[in-house]
Amino acid sequence: MSTSNGFTWIDGTLVDLAPDECERLLGTHAVGRIAWNGPAAPTVLPVNFIVADSEIWFRTTARSSLSREIDDLPVTFQVDEVDEFTRSGWSVQVHGTAHIVYDAARLPRTWPGIETWPAGAHALHVVIEQREITGRRLLPS
Amino acid sequence: MSTSNGFTWIDGTLVDLAPDECERLLGTHAVGRIAWNGPAAPTVLPVNFIVADSEIWFRTTARSSLSREIDDLPVTFQVDEVDEFTRSGWSVQVHGTAHIVYDAARLPRTWPGIETWPAGAHALHVVIEQREITGRRLLPS
């Protein structure tokens, strides 16, 4: 229990989410965060993404640190939602291996395309070969 | 330029943020993400945090993977804000070293406390010794 702004809150409960619920939540957002082990510490950057055939896809520019540092390496993709009013939310993370895809034949057959909000050419497609998906939900009290 | 739902969007512009603007934005949120190089890939988890004397502080439980894996190691702390309607937002990341603080004398003199939303004892305080703060804003078109 904690007190804030004159209200007394009963603290929330954290529950683990089943993989299929994690997959569903992942599909509800247009922006997630790609994290990889940079030279000294993790780098965490928001990107526009889609889920196609259960795989996470996003785009990057040819000159980005992302394109130089993640190909064929372990990465984590994270999406969350936070409700500051009810003090609740959820977080999903996917562990896997990133691959830069140069061959258009590798794109999913039903390819919706990926809209990137920032201007400029985002010529490189990146797919995450998923190894594990986990998530937690913080229930409001 | 991209087309979605019948609207035509002029894509947004990404600009780097100055450190003082990054610091200011960091202080506007109650939840950020702690990322560290786990055994195989980064782990990215949302936590409640505060900024006190320009340092990021959060709490964890004694039995968490966080408490076992981050003490005195490089970490990244990330906060962002995304507006899906205007397709804009910002992201700030702090690179630094995490320290679990066992000595109450190490807490900042003006200590506001840290409210954690999940229930349970979050007995361990963690501070991030900041090495670098960077951020970007995606301007709406």
Tell me: the pLDDT tens digits for B65-102?
A: 888 999 999 999 999 999 989 999 999 999 999 999 99
Is residue A9 a part of any domain in this protein? no
Give the residue on A whose Cα is nearest the Cα of B5.
Answer: A115
Q: What percent of chain B has pLDDT over 90?
A: 60
Q: Does B87 touch chain A (CB under 8 A)?
A: yes
Give the closest of A41, A78, A120 to B74, CB-based: A41
Res. B10 pLDDT band, cuts 50 70 90: low
Range among A53-57, A93-97, A105-109 with highest mean pLDDT value = A93-97
Region B105-122 average pLDDT: 87
What is the residue whose two structure tokens read 């830069």? Answer: A100
Contacts of A36 in chain B (CB under 8 A): 41-42
Q: Are B132 and B94 in contact (CB under 8 A)?
A: yes
pLDDT of residue B3: 47
Tell me: the pLDDT tens digits for B42-68?
A: 999 999 999 998 899 999 988 888 889
Q: Does B94 touch chain A (CB under 8 A)?
A: no
Is residue B33 a part of any domain in this protein? yes
Q: Does B108 touch chain A (CB under 8 A)?
A: no
Mutate to test the interface with B, among A3, A34, A44, A60 (most CBs of B within 10 A): A44
Task: Tell me what ipTM this predicted complex has.
Answer: 0.88
Is residue A5 a part of any domain in this protein? no
Which of 22-81 (A) contact B at CB < 8 A?
Answer: 30-31, 33, 35-37, 40-46, 74-76, 78, 80
Q: Does B130 touch chain A (CB under 8 A)?
A: no
Per the model's pLDDT, the better-predicted residue between A4 and B47 turns out to be B47
Res. B126 pLDDT band, cuts 50 70 90: very high
Is residue A1 a part of any domain in this protein? no
Is residue A109 a part of any domain in this protein? yes
Is residue A7 a part of any domain in this protein? no
CA B70 to chain centre: 15
Contacts of B12 in chain A (CB under 8 A): 117-119
Question: What separation in angstroms does the CA of B133 have from each of A35, A63, B89?
Answer: 16, 22, 17
Res. A10 pLDDT band, cuts 50 70 90: low
> What's the CATH number where A73 sits?
2.30.110.10
Is residue A4 a part of any domain in this protein? no
What the block records as the tokens of B50 is 């505060």
**Domain of A44?**
14-139
Coil, strand, or helix at residue A48?
strand
Q: Phi-psi category of A132—alpha, beta or left, where left has phi over 0 and alpha has psi -120 to 50?
A: beta
pLDDT averaged over every residue in chain B: 89
Tell me: the pLDDT tens digits for A33-74?
A: 999 998 778 999 999 999 998 899 999 988 888 889 999 999
Number of domains within chain B? 1
Q: Do B89 and A46 touch (CB under 8 A)?
A: yes
Is residue B6 a part of any domain in this protein? no
Res. B1 pLDDT band, cuts 50 70 90: very low
